[in-house]
Structure 1
Amino acid sequence: MPHDVDLIILLAVGFGFALIFGYIAARLRLPPLIGYLIAGIIISPNTPGITADIHIANQLAELGIMFLMFGVGIHFSLNDLVQVKRIAVPGAILQIAVATVLGMLVSMLWGWDFGSALVFGLSLSCASTVVLLKALGDRGLLDSVNGKIAVGWLLVEDLVMVLVLVLLPATAVLLGGTTPAEMSSDQSIGMTILLTLVKVAGFIAFMLIIGKRLVPKIMQIVARIGSRELFTLTVVACAVSIAYGSYAIFGVSMALGAFFAGMVVRESDFSHRAEQETLPLKEVFSILFFVSVGMLFDPAIIVEQPVHILAVIGIIMIGKTLAAMALVLFFRYPLNTALTVGASLAQIGEFSFILATMGLALGLLDNEAQNLILAGALFSISLNSVLFSAIEPVLNWIRQRSHLARLLERSNDPLSMLPDEVDQDYLKDQVVIIGHGEVGRHITQTLMQQGIKVVIAEENREIVEALREKGIAAVSGSAIEPGVLIQAHIQHARLLVISPMDLLDIHKIIDTAKLLNPYIQVLICAETREQANLIRQENLGEVYYAKEEMAKSMSGHILGQIKLAHDSNH
């Protein structure tokens, strides 16, 4: 050909096969990224047929990593983390430690050295943000207590992995690897680590002091012009420029730069618009990232090292899951929370790929280790939906057959019972409110201002502890469990208020409440218009739907203003 078309070939065959296999994966109810990885395997040098240029793919993958980390940063919410910090922070750190140790023990049994074993174990310890958010979203669990714990847990994992990405190049020589080209080989390990931490601290300070103010200001100025393409260009330029600047000026990884770029964009009033405008570009480069990762995978390892692959899958799907479940139960959360968090973390993804790529570049991992990590990701992501589907049947089976499991859920838990200072006179004609989210908070505040007695039933233990510190009667647990409603003294309540939740759970709560108190009034906050209509049809109680109530309130206000204007004219 008269000119070089390697990039066009890569894009054509990469996107073509990614579309085909992504569609097949979606039809099989698997995450599409499985299809993207398979597309990469097909066009890789390790398989016969069409072969794309892996060097160009790796450069495009760098952009993919930037946009993935930018997406993690723009989704990072300290508020989400604060709500579940007491379980998410220690739980995630301990679970990472357990998974890393398991990975190290197995790999050292295979004869690997300490440095390789450490990076390998860390690669198996971190779950995929993409897979987790999709799995929870598909099942409507993102806004549930279990979903928030899983997301908060993953946020901590992400922060730990960002720290690992920062420190790994500086400690590579100490672990038996090679010094990155940008670092001096004459410096001592201690000095290298100290300089790295100083540079990172300098970069973080720069972003928090200057970037946090400058980036939102630039976005505001561009937004006033009204040009959509200029706004999109501004966001992309911020992501890529900050990522590259962090590397060129401060010497930190471009992945960390992109992460902080996302965080400062989140501080802007235009963060939602920025996310929406750059979503197609982020998706495109993310697909190229997964395709390039697939191109590195050699399928021959499935035949050559089946026992090693089974061990890796066992660590990811059994070791990590059991460790996470044990930690959740230790923090006295119910069994369904333990199963949900365990299933959420029983896979690995993008951080594992980034760590594997960095480990290979630093001489800490070889191709076999990278292939084992990729195989573990392929199988664990493929089987993750099966684990989620098994949660309810397993939960029911355990509760029916295991007295120990039932004890584990509520054993000697002081938060599952109302405190002694709540006297019996208080527990008559009270309002029982299920859930203390945004709706529950407003209702509780309004009722208490009017001197009306309330009892809150809430799954999030930290919220229950905070309520009790304020002197508000609250009990921890899922209200679908009869014991929680009994503790809230539903049998003496005048009113039951149910915050937005799944219709099946609403049915269970009302059935228990009516059994204990046949004459209790029920008020239900519906999540959707369809749910509101179903509740009305089934006559479960008085229904309120946010958009309907807002429309009624606005209509009443408009009519009042028109009447006022009419009266003033006469």
Structure 2
Amino acid sequence: MPHDDSLILTLVAGFVLAFVLGMLALRFKLSPIVGYLLAGVVVGPFTPGWTADTALAAQLAEVGVILLMFGVGLHFSLQDLMRVRKVALPGAVVQIAAATALGWGVGRLIGLGDAEAALMGFSLSVASTVVLLRALEERKAVKGEAGQIAVGWLIVEDLVMVLALVLIPLIASAAGTFDGGQIAMKLGGTILSVTVFVAFMLLVGGRVLPWVLVRIAHTRSRELFTLGVLAISLGIAYLAYAVFGASFALGAFIAGVVLNGTPLGHNAAERALPLRDAFAVLFFVSVGMLFDPWVLLEQPVAVAAVVAIIVAGKSAAALVITSVFKLEKRASLLIAASLAQIGEFSFILAGVGLGLQVLSRETHDLVLAGALISIVLNPFVFRLADKLAPPPPPPPEAPAAA
């Protein structure tokens, strides 16, 4: 009996190559994301050899996006954001504006239209949560002042990107019309439907979902609890898309936020973590499959300019903001180094732009090249920050008692 093995081959190739190349990336003290992206390049259509099923990979990546956004919502902390809002809020807004403006300028110089150039710049403005947290954890700086500000900064960026995922398709659909009334009606309708969805989740979901989780927990079955968390994240994401016209990503994010405030929110996050990590790997692999590495040879100047925006431009904006708020030099440099890279949201935005035909394939490849190179360079940016402002020496050990 013949079998259609494309799904199995895609999963095997994706997981095995991601594991091997992720281990190699760690060996060279790089983020495993570099290995996952390269795994996708290896099995993608732009390199010789066997090619994975790109349609299946795209659908698996969509599940990865849902679980990533669900995880972002589960770890969203309004209290942490409010604690550092004086620096993080204006800092994130200024940095997003600066990166978008720089990207627009570079895009116009290389012949892109206004919309494409602006979306490219916007895609370069948000840092990777995975890369940032890993770098701060290595330096045991997550709980310090710089770490808390960097995390709060990233929360603001994530919130802006969640809103952008709702508005970009609407703006793109209205780009060909100049009827102000029609655009206003579309915008108002979208905002209304999203508002109704959010209100429904906060009022109804906030009561029903905790009750459901408690009932599942009473079964004392780990499998059922894990399955329940997965069903909630995927089910609400689909509900947001099919009923309220919102995106899968927004639905998953709001579901995570609602569960975050419940007594079993921490348990839900623990159960979702393995699934999120597994599908996140497939997400990064699928992104790598869409990347044409020949862009590095065909457009080296444009790639260098994009990397400069991410590493130098965003860092400079962060340093200016932190200096205005009179943070210590080392804290400012750590925050700037933490944000001198891009990742998951940039991939999602670039993919949305490609699907809506706002971004061309070449511009999409520029964003992916900038992400890959900036993640590779990020450890070296941190080393430069350590040289410019060395960490304080550890306190002397107390003398042993006689």
Instruction: Look up the match of 2:362.
Output: 368
CA contact (8 A) 1:64 1:285 kept: yes
Instruction: Look up the match of 1:284.
Output: 278
CA distance in 2, matches of 1:263, 1:34: 29
CA distance in 1, matches of 2:197, 2:107: 35
Higher-Rg structure is: 1
CA distance in 2, matches of 1:383, 1:537: 42
Instruction: Look up the match of 2:253.
Output: 259
Instruction: Look up the match of 1:384.
Output: 378
Could you say what secondary structure the match of 1:378 adopts?
A: helix
Instruction: Look up the match of 2:162.
Output: 162
Q: Compute the displacement of 1:386 (Å).
A: 1.1
CA distance in 1, matches of 2:145, 2:208: 35
Q: Is it true that 1:190 corresponds to 2:79 in the alignment? A: no
Instruction: Look up the match of 2:109.
Output: 109
Q: Compute the displacement of 1:16 (Å).
A: 1.1
CA distance in 2, matches of 1:31, 1:344: 13
Instruction: Look up the match of 2:395.
Output: 506
**What is the correspondence of 1:250-399 to structure 2 with a 5 Å cutoff?**
250-395=244-389
CA contact (8 A) 2:71 2:272 kept: no
Could you say what secondary structure the match of 1:225 adopts?
A: coil
Q: Is it true that 1:135 corresponds to 2:124 in the alignment? A: no
Q: Compute the displacement of 1:3 (Å).
A: 2.4
**TM-score, normalised with respect to structure 2:** 0.96
Change (3 A) 1:225 1:326: same
Unpaired segments ≥5 residues, structure 2: none
- Counterpart selection for 1:231 from 225, 231, 235: 225
Q: Compute the displacement of 1:333 (Å).
A: 1.0
CA contact (8 A) 2:44 2:51 kept: yes
CA contact (8 A) 1:115 1:175 kept: no
Unpaired segments ≥5 residues, structure 1: 178-184, 397-477, 481-503, 508-534, 540-570
Instruction: Look up the match of 2:57.
Output: 57
Q: Is it true that 1:220 corresponds to 2:214 in the alignment? A: yes
Counting strand residues as a fraction of each chain, which structure ranks higher? 1
**What is the correspondence of 1:6-155 to structure 2 with a 5 Å cutoff?**
6-155=6-155
Change (3 A) 1:302 1:229: same
Residue type matched to 1:64 in 2? G
Query: What are the Cα deviations for residues 310-338 of structure 1, in whole angstroms up to 9, with x where unaligned?
Result: 00000000000011111110111111111
CA distance in 2, matches of 1:19, 1:49: 19
Q: Compute the displacement of 1:506 (Å).
A: 3.3
Q: Compute the displacement of 1:536 (Å).
A: 4.5
Change (3 A) 1:176 1:319: farther
Q: Compute the displacement of 1:187 (Å).
A: 8.4
Q: Compute the displacement of 1:263 (Å).
A: 0.8
CA distance in 1, matches of 2:265, 2:121: 35
CA contact (8 A) 2:226 2:271 kept: yes
Q: Is it true that 1:2 corresponds to 2:8 in the alignment? A: no
Residue type matched to 2:24 in 1? I
Could you say what secondary structure the match of 1:146 adopts?
A: helix
Residue type matched to 2:306 in 1? V
Q: Compute the displacement of 1:115 (Å).
A: 0.9
Instruction: Look up the match of 1:207.
Output: 201
Change (3 A) 1:537 1:287: farther
CA contact (8 A) 1:96 1:122 kept: yes
CA contact (8 A) 1:308 1:372 kept: yes
CA contact (8 A) 1:200 1:252 kept: yes
Q: Compute the displacement of 1:390 (Å).
A: 2.1
Query: What are the Cα deviations for residues 134-172 of structure 1, in whole angstroms up to 9, with x where unaligned?
Result: 111111111111100000000000001111111011110
CA distance in 2, matches of 1:144, 1:394: 19
CA distance in 2, matches of 1:282, 1:336: 34
Query: What are the Cα deviations for residues 488-530 of structure 1, in whole angstroms up to 9, with x where unaligned?
Result: xxxxxxxxxxxxxxxx3434xxxxxxxxxxxxxxxxxxxxxxx
Q: RMSD value over aligned CA atoms?
A: 1.7
Q: Compute the displacement of 1:392 (Å).
A: 2.0
| Runs of 4 or more above 6 Å deviation | none
CA contact (8 A) 1:23 1:35 kept: yes
Residue type matched to 1:156 in 2? V
Residue type matched to 2:172 in 1? A
Query: What are the Cα deviations for residues 426-446 of structure 1, in whole angstroms up to 9, with x where unaligned?
Result: xxxxxxxxxxxxxxxxxxxxx
**TM-score, normalised with respect to structure 1:** 0.68
CA distance in 1, matches of 2:120, 2:188: 25
